[in-house]
Amino acid sequence: MSADELVALVCCDLGAIVRGRALFSSALDARLTEGVGWVPANHALTPFGPIAEPNPFGATGDLRLTPDPTTRVRVGEDGASALHLILCDIVETDGSPWAACPRSFLRDTLALLDSELGARVMASFEHEFQLLLDAPAALPFSLEAQRRAEPFATRVMNSLVAAGVEPERFLAEYAAHQFEIPLAAAEGLASADRAVVFREVVREVARRLDARATFVPLLDPSEAGNGVHVHISLLDGGGGSLFYDSSRAGCLSELGGQFAAGVLRHARALSAFTAASPISAARLTPHRWSAGAVCLAERNREALLRIPPLVTLGEEDPERQLRLEYRGADATANPHLALATILRAGLEGIRERLPAPPILDRDPAELDAADAKRYGVGALPSTLQESLQALAEDDTARAWLGPLLYEAYVSVKQAEIDAASGRELEENCRRYAAIY
Ligand code: GLU
Ligand code: MG
């Protein structure tokens, strides 16, 4: 590593844009505690560039970005301006957590699950993305599509290994030039940190090949979108699953059922954090294999919450595999906020001992009104404005964030809605593809 290499101290903001400041890596050790300066109004910046108005910050205040050295990532060859970054907490100048720091919000949420349930969270973020290419696309899932993606495919997988995010597979997905890379589950904060790092490494590897990778939720409204599926399980102190019970429907324990019920109860408010852009809801319509309805299902890709299959071939242990997959997120969502709010919703379900939701065994779009009621199937908001409205009306969900984080988040999202209004979906998809 050359002495004058830059290392970026960064955070992921409310619009899931990674921002920060870089310093010489030789100067890093002296900065590990005090970090670098930061400004509250940076968290009123919209993904389109301008600051959202009104916002709770104005021109006043000073913060610090303090690095978490465990998140340090360096990808690239010596002498070739490596991507070198460290994720940071946003703190006050005395080091106390800043009330609108998404990473601290997730940390607090994890602490609640630990103190109330003795639970540790394992999670992984499964991303889809597309390369922006003019060439005609090869067939979905085909070897041809994978081979045409070389040398990107091999380079990105190796760079992700170097970044420590444990990529498991590379696959060509359904839409044109669309790919998916699932990551191994990690504990708590690290799982969301991995999602932030993953996106930056994928973009970087494409950039070095003069290409662009986009995580836009929907590139072409006539095609499949790019989802982020969040897989979650809770473990007890000894590492046993709190979600697994082979005697129950779907092998989902009573506690797992309560968690699922909490997520479904708050699903409409949650979508303000997980389907976070004005184009996100257009991905979440029936028959896109994203999440067409608010319900729990097993092995069914139309449900917001899915129980993925338990593979009993070979030596696989079903208990270790049992997890809930939240399919309603995309990469316009800040991963820390998304995971934290899903966990808060699940925790509410556990606190209230909600009954396990029925497990839907068919296409939610085909149900008549009586069956929809029987299976507890509801609709997701059809716009971000509706999601924000659902959040405003859900006193419990609003209280998870605290007033500053709530106000800042809503101001950024409202500004985005205003900036996207009056334009066709296709145009907004193109605009978001240029940003994400
Ligand atoms: N592309 C789908 C989505 O938008 C997911 C397809 C799948 O991997 O099941 O979420
Ligand atoms: Mg997929």
Which of 289, 300, 305 to mutate to test ligand 1, by most ligand atoms within 8 A of the CB atom?
Answer: 289
- Which residue's alpha carbon is nearest to atom 7 within ligand 1? 289
Which of 231, 290, 304 to mutate to test ligand 1, by most ligand atoms within 8 A of the CB atom?
Answer: 290
pLDDT at 3: 60
Contact 306 CB / ligand 1 (< 6 Å):
no
Instruction: Give the CA-trace dihedral at 383, 388, 394, 398, to 10 degrees.
Output: 150
pTM: 0.97
Q: Is 189 left (phi over 0), alpha (psi -120 to 50) or beta?
A: alpha
pLDDT at 361: 86
pLDDT at 299: 82
- Amino acid letter, 306: R
Distance 127 CA to ligand 1 centre (A): 9
| The two three-digit tokens of residue 211, written as one number | 């290409």
Distance 53 CA to ligand 2 centre (A): 37
- Which residue's alpha carbon is nearest to atom 5 within ligand 1? 290
Contact 245 CB / ligand 1 (< 6 Å):
no
pLDDT at 79: 65
Report the C-alpha gap between 409 and 45 in whole angstroms: 10
Low-confidence ranges of the chain (pLDDT < 50): none
Alpha helices in 218-359 (DSSP H): 254-265, 267-274, 280-283, 318-321, 335-351
What does DSSP assign to residue 58?
T
Contact 224 CB / ligand 1 (< 6 Å):
yes
pLDDT, tens only, 234-287 = 999 999 999 999 999 999 999 999 999 999 999 999 999 999 999 999 999 989
β-bridge partners, 175: none
Exposure string (b/e) for 6-15, b if CB count within 10 Å is 16 or more? ebbbbbbbbb
Contact 301 CB / ligand 1 (< 6 Å):
yes
Please name the residue that has the structure tokens 């006193």.
395
